[in-house]
Chain A
Amino acid sequence: MSGLRLRVTAPTRPARESLLGFLTGLDEQPSGYWVEACFAEPLRALREACGERVAVAFEDGGLLQSLDAWRNVLLPVSFHAAHDSRAARLRAQGILAAVGRRPEDFMASPAQLSLFEKRLIGFVKAAVLEPQLLVIDRLFEELGHEEQKSIASLLELFHRRYPLRRMLYVGLSESPPGLLAGFEPLEREEAIQ
């Protein structure tokens, strides 16, 4: 496992889901040809290196409609009770402040948020857990240029704050050049190449 910031482009949605399922521990074994044959070993190495401390910033935020967006951010922290919830709240406020937003902007249901806002909240929700591996689920796709720049600045912020933690960007299409500067491609297994 060479780099701390990695990227991979999944050929299909099921392949992406298989990859996320394996990394988050939902599936014991990688499934599907693409994951199993091309990336099984590097993914296993990632999982072993990071254990259970994997968080995903989902493409749609992965938010519950029954809670307002801000409470979605704090749900994993309060559920696992492994984190100081006050510190997590402050961390979340800090991340939002970096893109000029406040918690008060997110007291509405996730259904009322734009795609960018959902992704922003989803990123904050994952980042406040201070994971060993932050999986970034196609956050750049289907966004405008300014929104993409905001997301890129958040990724940079996370990297600066936790320089030894890993990030894996999972896309369904190639991201525009520059946005993923510093992200190395996830190594395919030699036998397959």
Chain B
Amino acid sequence: MAASAAYAGLRGFADLAHDVFARLGALSSAPVREVLARQVHKVGVATLSAMVIRAAGIGTLIIAYTTYVLAADAAFAVRILIWAVLREIGPLFAVIMLIMRSGTAMAAEFALMRERGELQALRMTRIRVLDYIVVPTVAAMTLSNVAITFYFQLLAVAGGMLLSALLMEVSLAELAEHFFAAATLWDLVYTLIKSLGFGFLVGLVVCVHGLGIGGRQAELPEAVSRAVMQSIVAVLLFNAVFAYLVFGVLFFGIVRAPA
């Protein structure tokens, strides 16, 4: 019973994802672009402004931890910074911020629109909710998450190195040299794919629970709560599957891809 419900849920998300891709052309319409711009602005302002200190703090913490606790040299500390911030913590931290700051707000806004009858009025005016709300929201979440992730990484790496240079006996030039020697284009591609996937998934989940797509007509508090919880689950699953596809290992090496 639970398995079939989970399957139906996943199938619903897959169908919605397909519909979103199929209707991306709706973004050429002026009112839809307006919604896209508004959502990007809302997501950006809400999330980016909350990031500066946290990002720099995480960068410093990673370098300080590897240098003092693991007694590593500056080169190793920077390699850990790249691995953690560029590949794992950066995209995850950014999407968690996106879910907490913007995902909750959007799910609540959509649930209110549903309760006020605005969605019904849109449908009766022959304005498809998929075109007018879902497509721009998913696009806005996806694009914003990429921007947020790179912003977070920039702040974490730059802030981390700067603060480390001030607080520890390592020069900024030395840290920067190690960074540019160790970072590769692949790190950026890896981050880009992850942040696109994370943002897309969060956008879908927020729309499904906020707008009550597929018969999920929950009350406002429940819609927000479900949107947050399922967004986190979806992001973690995507992260695990992506790591498995890229590195061939899952759950700290317990599951390995066939040779």
Contacts and interface: CB of A to CB of B under 8 A. Distances in A.
A181 interface: no
Nearest to B112: A65
B198 interface: no
Contacts, number: 52
A26 B123 contact: yes
A80 interface: yes
Contacts of B121: 56, 58, 62-63
Given A79-B29, A79-B132, A52 B126 contact: yes
A13 to B, nearest CB: 11
A66 B38 contact: yes
B45 interface: no
B9 interface: no
A191 interface: no
A79 B123 contact: no
Contacts of B112: 65
B117 interface: yes
Nearest to A17: B120
A28 to B, nearest CB: 14
B29 A64 contact: no
Contacts of A93: none
A25 interface: yes
B31 to A, nearest CB: 5
B167 interface: no
B3 interface: no
B2 interface: no
A76 B124 contact: no
Which one of A52, A65, A79 has the greatest number of beta carbons of chain B within 10 Å?
Answer: A79
Given A75-B127, A76-B127, A64 B122 contact: yes
Interface in B56-79: none
Given A78-B30, A79-B29, A62 B127 contact: no
Contacts of B113: 64-66
A64 B118 contact: yes
B234 to A, nearest CB: 26
Interface residues of B, number: 19
Contacts of A87: none
A56 B38 contact: no
B124 A62 contact: yes
Given A65-B116, A65-B118, A79 B124 contact: no
Contact of A79 (B31, B38, B109, B117): B31
Interface in B64-99: none
A64 B32 CA distance: 14
Nearest to A85: B30
Contact of A60 (B109, B117, B126, B132): B117
Interface string A37-70: 0000000000000001001101010111110000
A81 interface: yes
B126 A56 contact: no
Q: Which 8 A-B pairs have the closest CB atoms?
A: A62-B121, A24-B124, A79-B31, A76-B125, A78-B31, A79-B127, A64-B118, A56-B124
9 contacts: A24-B125, A26-B124, A65-B113, A66-B113, A75-B31, A76-B125, A78-B29, A79-B32, A80-B127
